[in-house]
Amino acid sequence: MVAEAEEEPEAEAAAAEAEPEAEPEVAAADRAGFREPILGAEVSANVERVGLAGLALADPQGKILVATPGMPPITGRLREMLNTMPRGDRGLLDLQLGVTDLPTMGFIFPLFGIQADTGSEVLGMVIGIKIVDDDLYGRLSQPGETLETAETYIVRAQAPNVQYLSPLEDGTQPLRRVLALDTPNLGSAFVLNTAGGFGRKVDYDNEEVLVTGRSISAAPWVVVRKISTSEALAGSESRLKTMLVVFIMIIVITSVVIVAVWRHGSSVRATAAAERFRVAAERFQNLGKFLRVITDSQPTEMIAVTEDGT
């Protein structure tokens, strides 16, 4: 009992001395977002608790030397990447669903000696695992957005599919929607193939949209920006309809004027012709009267012949 009592103050003193050394690393992880709540209750027993995110310092072979309390185990894809990546290179563990189905990604940065004779030697690696949340996804929403159907999201090619990495307006959670790259006229597939291009395509919800995008150099991602054609072209279509109505009215008015001019011209020509016919009829009528007067007052017989004697 006396020995145990003597050991307890020594253990507490050792813990107190060790705690300040760990505090700067934990604080740095907290500030950079590499710390998340640990799943599982903290009990005074040898029970492993599941970590979600954290920072760790490893040797050149990938063996963990020190880590923050919430650092998850180095297994799976992260361990495979550590074993295969060239020493001295930076590594990115692309976005994936972690043990709790939360979007998670990791980073690996080499540590070099600062002395001249060891400047090119890799002394270790910093490994960071971080949960991707609104710190990234919140940047996809533009403050003061007035367009109702505009949306910005992130995709990546995962042959033979395109995977949506960010939340979508229809409520789909990150990494939950996957569509085939060869889907006819798919907007996200078009942007993946021609990042920076612009086209009139069909979105993931089968709505016709105008879409463009930009690739991200630090990750195999593409940021897609889209808006429905009905909203984007509403002003243009309104102007086109106005112009169409104006052109139709101009055509109708021109047609009415042409018909009116034609009828007026026809009426004038018909009136002139009628006047000529009236004058000719009066002339023939007067001539007939004159001939009847002559024939009635002449006792001899008279005939009218043509030049050939008829």
Could you identify the residue written with the tokens 């940065």? 109
How, if at all, do strands 91-97 and 64-67 pair? unpaired
Burial of residue 121, with CB atoms counted within 10 A of its CB: 0-12 exposed, 13-18 middle, 19 or more buried: middle
Non-local (6+) Cβ contacts of 124 within 8 A are 57, 58, 59, 60, 65, 110, 111
Three-state DSSP class for 64? Answer: strand
Distance CA 59, CA 126 (A): 9
pLDDT of residue 165: 92
Rg (the chain; Cα; Å)? 47
pLDDT of residue 45: 47
User: Domain segments of the chain: what residues?
Assistant: 18-39+48-132, 138-232, 234-310
CATH number 3.30.450 is the correct assignment for the domain at 138-232: yes
User: Averaged in consecutive runs of 10 residues, what is the pLDDT profile of the chain (310 residues)?
Assistant: 42 41 61 59 51 82 82 81 80 81 86 64 85 85 86 91 92 90 91 87 92 88 92 83 92 92 87 87 85 78 84
User: Options 3.30.450, 3.55.50, 3.30.565, 2.30.130; which CATH number does 18-39+48-132 get?
Assistant: 3.30.450
pLDDT of residue 226: 93
The residues that bridge with 157 in the sheet, in sequence order, are 162
Short-list 119, 225, 212, CA closest to 169: 225
For residue range 62-85, what is the model confidence (pLDDT) as tens digits?
A: 788 888 887 888 878 888 888 888
Q: In 10 A of CB 188, how many CB atoms?
A: 28
pLDDT of residue 120: 66
Contact between 177 and 259 (Cβ < 8 Å): no
- Cis omega (within 30 of 0) for bond into 20: no
pLDDT of residue 88: 76
Sign of the alpha-carbon dihedral angle for 81, 86, 87, 88:
negative
pLDDT of residue 222: 92
Short-list 136, 52, 137, 55, CA closest to 100: 52
Edge-to-edge order in the sheet of strand 151-158 = 177-180, 161-164, 151-158, 221-228, 208-216, 198-202
> How far are the Cα atoms of 12, 41, 63, 259 from residue 49, in angstroms, in the given order?
23, 8, 20, 92
Distance CA 271, CA 291 (A): 30
Identical fold for domains 18-39+48-132 and 138-232, yes or no, is: yes
Distance CA 53, CA 38 (A): 9
pLDDT of residue 32: 64
pLDDT of residue 28: 64
pLDDT of residue 290: 81
